């Protein structure tokens, strides 16, 4: 049975029902359709209920909070309308932290995609111990962010870190890696260290590229670079788009600066070096250090809307360059 047959079968009993006469031959089909729909809804309902309970509910609550001065404890909080939104528009910390998050996303996402893709191309080649390399390169991606933060914090500590230990061998003075202006590079390194995540998705994409296309290009005399540029990358473009979108969303919400902070606590978050004080650090500080639940909720809602807009723009501007390899028959 093809996909195209389903609507035909599904519409007929409805028409019969509307006419008021239900031919007995259609009844099994009706119940089959209903059963299939019920099965669909039963399988999806846990997720939908979870989504309503754990996403829509808290978001609605945060939206309500964003119109108040609620701080969790004090008795005299009140409704302030759009005051929190007005305040954030004129708050230089909001814009500075947002622009830092933007710069971080623009830098880290392409770098990690390129690094991940390069690694994927490497481990897609017929190498000895290929499985071992794949495992080793992917390993950092499964390290929990808290663990990764601790590792980087210890590696780059000024007084006891291995990074300065290496410099010491060459007689070079210690560097305060976790302070400005170097702190931003440590964060970038932490992101690139976990590029195995991007690698594994790109590797799956690479293995889906039909081999005969590469063979045809080689017969036609195309160089390896030309083949990669004209065949591999276009066929991988949906995967790369997916990684760009999810990477962008994750990077503007990164909490890695907090994890490598001298004191990863609510009161310590504001001591994060200026270059790493990104939007989520500002949100975290407003929520948990200053107890400004209303203002922090407004900050989160603005971020949510901005992410929606940027995601929409990415889809719009990449629609002409992303190649979807869809079976034309299935599309009908």
Partner 1 sequence: MRPHAGAPLSRRRFLSLSAGGAAAGAAALSGCALQVAGAASGGGGESITVMAELNDLGPELIQQAQKELGIRITVVKNDITRLIAMITSGNPPDLVRGLGALDAPYFAARGVAENLDPYFAKSSILKVDDLDPANDLWRYDGKTQGNGPRYGMAKDFSQDAMFWYNTSHFDKAGLAYPSETEPITYEEWLDNAKQLVRRKNGQTTVYGGSYNGLGLGILFTNLTAAAGGSLFSADFSRVDFTTPEARRALAWYVDYAKTRVGPSLIQPNPDAWDGPTYVANRMAMSGNGYWLGGMIYPEPKVAPVSRLAPAPVFEGGPRLSSCQSATGLWMPKKARNKDAAWRVFEWFFGEAPAKARAEGGWGIPTLKSLRPLMPDKEAYQQRVLKTQQAELEHFSVTPFTPYIKWDALEALINQVIPAAMRGEISVDILAGRLNSTVNEQMKRGKEQVG
**Residue ranges binding partner 1 (CB under 8 A):** 30-31, 33-34, 37-38, 41, 45, 48-50, 52-53, 56-57, 69, 71-77, 154, 157-161, 164, 167-168, 171-176, 178-179, 262-263, 265-271, 273, 285, 288-292
The total of other beta-carbon atoms located within 10 Å of residue 326's CB is 9
CB 292 to partner 1: min, Å: 8
Contact 241, 235 (CB under 8 A): no
| In contact, 13 and 33? CB cutoff 8 Å | yes
- Give the nearer residue to partner 1 in terms of CB position, either 5 or 74: 74
What letter would DSSP give residue 327?
-
Output the smallest distance, CB 32 to partner 1, in A: 10
Question: To the nearest whole angstrom, how small is the minimum distance from the Cβ of residue 259 to partner 1?
Answer: 14
Please identify, using beta-carbon distances, which residue of 73 and 219 lies nearer to partner 1: 73
- Least distance CB 66 / partner 1 (angstroms): 16
Nearer to partner 1 by Cβ, of 57 and 110: the residue is 57
Q: How far is the CB of 38 from partner 1 (least distance, A)?
A: 6
Element housing 95 (H / E): helix 92-123
In terms of CB distance, is 99 or 154 closer to partner 1?
154
Following DSSP, what letter does each residue of 156-191 receive, concatenated?
Answer: T-TTT-HHHHHHHHTTPPP--TTSTTTHHHHHHHHH
Least separation in angstroms between residue 140's CB and partner 1 is 22
Give the whole-angstrom CA distance, residue 83 versus residue 67.
7
CB of 160 to partner 1, least distance (A): 4
Q: Name the residue nearer to partner 1 (CB basis): 104 or 277.
A: 277
How far apart CA 283 and CA 301 sit, in angstroms, is 11
Choose between 121 and 150: whose C-beta lies nearer to partner 1.
150
Q: Which residue has the tokens 């590696």?
A: 155
Q: Which two tokens stand for residue 131?
A: 């499985």
Phi then psi for residue 79, to 5 deg, are -80, 130
What is the three-class DSSP state of 256? helix
Backbone angles phi, psi at 68, to 5 degrees: -130, 175
Token pair of 296, please? 């922090």
4 versus 72: smaller Cβ distance to partner 1 = 72
d(CA 208, CA 237): 12
């Amino acid at each position: 049975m093809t996909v195209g047959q389903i609507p035909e079968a599904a519409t007929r009993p409805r028409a019969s029902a509307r006419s008021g006469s239900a031919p007995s031959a259609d009844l099994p089909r009706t119940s089959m359709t209903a059963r299939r729909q019920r099965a669909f809804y039963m399988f999806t309902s846990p997720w939908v209920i979870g989504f309503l309970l754990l996403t829509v509910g808290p978001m609605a609550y945060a939206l309500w909070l964003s119109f108040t001065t609620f701080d969790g404890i004090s008795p005299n909080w009140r409704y302030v309308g759009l005051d929190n939104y007005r305040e954030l528009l004129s708050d230089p910390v909001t814009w500075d932290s947002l622009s830092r998050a933007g710069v971080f996303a623009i830098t880290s996402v392409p770098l990690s995609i390129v690094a991940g893709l390069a690694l994927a191309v490497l481990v897609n080649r017929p190498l000895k111990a290929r499985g071992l390399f794949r495992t080793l390169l992917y390993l950092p991606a499964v390290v929990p962010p808290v663990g990764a933060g601790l590792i980087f914090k210890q590696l780059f500590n000024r007084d006891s870190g291995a990074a300065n230990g290496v410099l010491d061998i060459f007689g070079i003075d210690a560097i305060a890696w976790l302070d400005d202006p170097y702190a931003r590079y440590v964060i970038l390194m932490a992101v690139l260290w976990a590029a195995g995540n991007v690698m594994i998705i790109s590797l799956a994409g690479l293995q889906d590229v039909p081999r005969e296309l590469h063979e045809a290009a080689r017969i036609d005399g195309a160089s390896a670079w030309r083949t990669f540029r004209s065949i591999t990358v276009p066929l991988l473009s949906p995967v790369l788009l997916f990684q760009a979108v999810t990477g962008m969303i994750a990077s503007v919400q990164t909490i890695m600066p907090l994890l490598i902070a001298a004191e990863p606590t609510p009161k310590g978050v504001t001591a994060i070096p200026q270059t790493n004080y990104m939007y989520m650090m500002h949100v975290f500080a407003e929520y948990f250090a200053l107890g400004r639940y209303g203002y922090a909720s407004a900050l989160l809602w603005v971020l949510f809307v901005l992410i929606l807009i940027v995601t929409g723009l990415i889809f719009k501007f990449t629609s002409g360059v992303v190649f979807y390899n869809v079976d034309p028959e299935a599309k009908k």
